[in-house]
């Protein structure tokens, strides 16, 4: 369900008010969209937010470890839930908490926040602070380079074979191939390791080596490679990497032609949207069997599609990434669903209206539609027309790969 008008989106979220009032914070968490005027139930700060995330990470790994070592056989059906928890918490570590630390929005002090980024990125093996600052703050957030060939995410998409001018069917096939491609996963992992152990400052290299050597040393010493593989490596490598790909494929209107008449703010807005998870509730007044079918379908999509998408692909404030582009310096990132809605309630002063997209499939579909409508030659790719040094650089870029696009 795509809702590009704020009114329609408000209606979708408002339909959930047929559920009891005490459940509404839960629906805000699941969908990512708050009700007008709604205030957060709990006011976390960055430290309590981090603590909750580390508890979730430990619970995910611990529960998976227990299932495969001591749990009754039937608990194996719960293993995917443990993997989801671990992968989600790891993504929050890197793309939410470490991300806002690089914006100096954890303690508010540059040195401490850089250190927090370095520790968290070491923990989940992603970009070190220096590389991330360059890719994210200097390139992704700057209006001159945001969503251009200089943006590392666009370079990454080109490297993976997502190119302007491809049909939406070809792009979907490309995505399906990437998800199961050993090469995609191998290169992604290689890049993560290289950014931790080679392409970083010496002190960060020491951190990466010491951490990985200790973990792998203990695993070898205790002879628990099988348990470690199932409980840690599965969620932290293949699952993490697939959801990272889905996240940045749905994040911005990559390759949407830049309208030169737009201001910097309007450009950011034209390329950004909120990604919400949920369907409108079935209408009232249906017959008994039609209502049963409609509710079964609504529930199945919620449990099997929308909640996994929210937990894995757009956890934390990734659902409100458009709000982050408007307010990269806000301290409200720990409760971004509410803060974004408060901004809408206030008339989003000095900024154009928000765009809301409901459903991860729709968000990815928007990006694929834009890609299919653009011409490779217009981007200096695959043709002689308007070939630029930037384009050549992007097309040839195979040595660098961003882990996280937020
Ligand atoms: Zn940012
Ligand atoms: Zn962004």
Least distant ligand from the CA of 247: 2
Å from CA of 96 to ligand 1 middle = 9
Q: How confident is the model at residue 405 (pLDDT cuts 50, 70, 90)?
A: very low
336-346: average pLDDT: 96
Least distant ligand from the CA of 248: 2
Å from CA of 137 to ligand 1 middle = 6
Lowest mean pLDDT among 2-16, 159-173, 292-306: 2-16
Confirm whether 403 is domain-assigned. no
Q: What is the pTM of this model?
A: 0.90
Domain that holds residue 23: 2-396
Å from CA of 21 to ligand 2 middle = 33
The residue that leads in pLDDT, 390 or 359, is: 359
Confirm whether 74 is domain-assigned. yes
Residue 298: Cβ within 10 Å count = 16
pLDDT 10s digits, 74-107: 999 999 999 999 999 999 999 999 999 999 999 9
Confirm whether 102 is domain-assigned. yes
Å from CA of 299 to ligand 2 middle = 31
The strand pairing partners of 358, in sequence order, are 276
pLDDT 10s digits, 366-383: 999 999 998 877 777 764
Pairing of strands 274-276, 356-358: parallel
Å from CA of 237 to ligand 2 middle = 23
DSSP 335: G
265-286: average pLDDT: 90
Q: What is the sign of the dihedral through the CA atoms of 107, 271, 180 and 403? A: negative
Least distant ligand from the CA of 405: 2
Å from CA of 327 to ligand 2 middle = 11
Confirm whether 402 is domain-assigned. no
Q: Is the pLDDT of residue 390 over 50?
A: no
| CA distances for 98 relative to 17, 116, 298, 380, angstroms | 34, 7, 35, 34
Least distant ligand from the CA of 253: 2
Å from CA of 202 to ligand 1 middle = 25
Helix (H, G, I), strand (E, B) or coil at 106: coil
Å from CA of 114 to ligand 1 middle = 14
- What distance in Å separates the CA atoms of residue 315 and residue 18, rounded to the nearest whole number? 25
Å from CA of 359 to ligand 1 middle = 22
Q: How confident is the model at residue 6 (pLDDT cuts 50, 70, 90)?
A: low
Residue with tokens 């509710």: 295
- What distance in Å separates the CA atoms of residue 18 and residue 164, rounded to the nearest whole number? 43
390-398: average pLDDT: 38
Confirm whether 404 is domain-assigned. no
Confirm whether 406 is domain-assigned. no
- Mean per-residue pLDDT of the chain: 90
The residue that leads in pLDDT, 394 or 27, is: 27
Least distant ligand from the CA of 336: 1
The residue that leads in pLDDT, 300 or 2, is: 300
Least distant ligand from the CA of 146: 2
Q: Is the pLDDT of residue 392 over 50?
A: no
Å from CA of 47 to ligand 1 middle = 19
The residue that leads in pLDDT, 274 or 397, is: 274
Å from CA of 52 to ligand 2 middle = 24
Domain count, the chain: 1
Q: What share of the chain has pLDDT > 90, as a percent? A: 76
Confirm whether 201 is domain-assigned. yes
Q: Where are the alpha helices (DSSP H) in 306-359?
A: 307-308, 321-326, 336-345
Confirm whether 183 is domain-assigned. yes
Å from CA of 296 to ligand 1 middle = 38
Å from CA of 71 to ligand 2 middle = 41
């Amino acid at each position: 369900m795509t809702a590009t008008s704020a009114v329609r989106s408000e209606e979708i979220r408002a339909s959930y008010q047929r559920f009891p009032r005490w459940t509404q914070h839960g629906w805000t968490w699941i969908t990512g969209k708050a009700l007008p005027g709604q205030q957060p139930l709990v006011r976390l700060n960055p430290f309590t937010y981090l603590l909750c995330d580390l508890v979730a990470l430990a619970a995910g790994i611990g529960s998976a470890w227990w299932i495969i070592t001591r749990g009754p056989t039937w608990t194996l059906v719960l293993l995917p839930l443990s993997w989801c928890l671990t992968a989600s918490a790891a993504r929050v570590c890197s793309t939410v908490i470490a991300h806002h630390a690089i914006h100096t929005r954890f303690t508010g002090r540059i040195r401490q926040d850089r250190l927090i980024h370095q520790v968290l990125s070491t923990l989940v093996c992603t970009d070190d602070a220096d590389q991330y600052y360059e890719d994210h703050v200097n390139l992704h957030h700057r209006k001159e380079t945001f969503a251009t060939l200089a943006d590392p995410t666009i370079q990454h998409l080109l490297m993976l074979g997502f190119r302007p001018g491809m049909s939406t069917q070809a792009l979907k096939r490309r995505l399906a191939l990437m998800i199961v491609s050993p090469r995609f996963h191998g290169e992604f992992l290689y890049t993560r390791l290289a950014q931790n152990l080679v392409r970083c400052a010496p002190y960060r290299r020491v951190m990466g080596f010491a951490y990985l050597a200790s973990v792998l040393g203990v695993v070898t010493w205790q002879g628990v490679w099988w348990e470690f593989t199932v409980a840690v490596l599965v969620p932290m490598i293949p699952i993490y990497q697939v959801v990272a790909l889905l996240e940045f494929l749905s994040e911005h209107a990559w390759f949407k032609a830049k309208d030169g008449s737009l201001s910097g703010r309007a450009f950011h807005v034209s390329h950004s949207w909120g990604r919400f998870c949920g369907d409108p509730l079935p209408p009232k007044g249906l017959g008994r069997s039609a209502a049963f079918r409609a509710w079964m379908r609504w529930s199945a999509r919620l449990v099997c599609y929308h909640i996994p998408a929210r937990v894995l692909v757009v956890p934390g404030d990734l659902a409100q990434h458009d709000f982050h582009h408007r307010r990269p310096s806000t301290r409200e990132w720990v409760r971004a669903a509410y803060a974004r809605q408060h901004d809408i309630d206030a008339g989003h002063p000095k900024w154009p209206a928000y765009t809301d997209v409901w459903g991860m499939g729709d968000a990815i579909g928007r990006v694929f539609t834009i890609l299919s409508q653009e011409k490779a030659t217009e981007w200096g790719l695959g043709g002689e027309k308007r070939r630029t040094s930037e384009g050549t650089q992007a097309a040839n870029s195979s040595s660098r790969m961003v882990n996280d696009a937020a």
